[in-house]
Amino acid sequence: MSKNICFIDGLEGILKYREIDINQLVELPYDAVSYLLILGELPVDQELAEYSSRLHGEREINREVMDIIRMCKLNIDSMEALRTIVSFISQFDPDINDSSPEGNLRKAIRLIAKIPTIVAAYYRMANGKEPLPPDRFLSHGANFLYMIRGSKPSQLEAEVMEKDFILSAEHELNASTFSSRVTASTLSDLYSAVVSGLCTLKGPLHGGARSEVMNMIEEIACPENAEEFILEKIAKKEKIMGFGHRVYKTYDPRGMIFKQLSRQLAEAKGDMHWYEIAEAIENTVIRELVEKKGKPIYPNVDFYSGVIYKYMDIPPQLATSIFAIGRVSGWIAHCFDQYEKKRIIRPRAFMLDEC
């Protein structure tokens, strides 16, 4: 059942994948969490080694895909390139017409493995650099940072990127997961379902919020400006990006972990600037909206993840694509669940009034 993929208690701030708390899962490799989501249980050492070997062996993309990436405009958001390329690579998958569980698993592994390579290749080309081949000996997070930078990240940066992917991997029936499930419910192929998820994630009210957080932090520029900026937003009744959630009525557990990680990065780099801006923003929002007005407006998954990207020199244009790198395992888990049901999702129009 889909409810077993993810459990959320919005009042207590609890998030679990397959009945395992997120605070435990962030201590694992992304590959293990991906395995858990897709196959339903944590792998033993040998299973994880085999799964990771298959993932790492499918990271490369062929020359034809590189040519299409070069044809994309280089000043667009990376999500626009990513959705095009994921659709394009489906024709090279030898299992594209194999809808058996085994065929779908092989497609899943290729998607999870290749999406980081696509994002990194587009980013490098957009910045006038040649793409780098993936390093199959690096972890999911370390390899991605290597491919965009051209140098291996520090151990802390690699661990933070790995945790970022884990924290982004799954979150029940959010908008992009629901759109992926709708596509899968028609028994369309896995690539089509993932493209549906990508198109939905791109919106600024969903995955696009992360880049908006980064832009907001840059606009504020220093901690002393944060209070006035937020007070003006509140006075105008404008949305403060990175705050509030439809499900959580307390602190988003992912947001709490991201806050801890952003502080670790700030301290390791000897630069508290971005963290202090974010903390000043949070303190003002909590004081004005939570304490004074009783509204459950706390930092969500996007807020401190934006701070992390600032410290790792990841530009806003990549933020949503990085979210997709992590989330694809969750989309696939839901698609597999939907394929088993063999029943089309067909809501009634009157249900829109509740949205």
Model confidence over 241-254: pLDDT tens digits? 999 998 999 999 99
Give per-residue burial for 118-135: e unless 16+ CB within 10 Å, then b: bbbbbbbbbeeeebbebe
pLDDT at 355: 57
pLDDT reading at 157 higher than 90: yes
**Model pLDDT for residues 36-88, shown as the tens digit of each residue:** 999 999 999 999 999 999 999 999 999 999 999 999 888 878 999 999 999 99
Taking residues 211-237, what's their average pLDDT?
A: 95
Question: Which backbone phi and psi does 127 adopt, to 5 degrees?
Answer: -105, 20
**Residues acting as catalytic residues:** 245, 302
Domain ranges for the chain, please list them.
Answer: 2-203+322-341, 209-311
Segment 94-124, tens digit of pLDDT: 999 999 999 999 999 999 999 999 999 999 9
For the domain covering 209-311, report its CATH number. 1.10.230.10
Whole-structure pTM value: 0.95
Tens digit of each residue's pLDDT (9 = 90 or more) over 316-336: 999 999 999 999 999 999 999
pLDDT for residue 1? 47
CA-CA distance, 244 to 156, in Å (whole number)? 29
What angle, 0 to 180 degrees and rounded to 10, lies between the N-to-C axes of helices 140-149 and 30-39? 120
* Count of CB atoms situated within 10 Å of the CB of 70: 12
Query: Does pLDDT of 351 surpass 80?
Result: no
* CATH 1.10.580.10 is held by the domain 2-203+322-341: yes
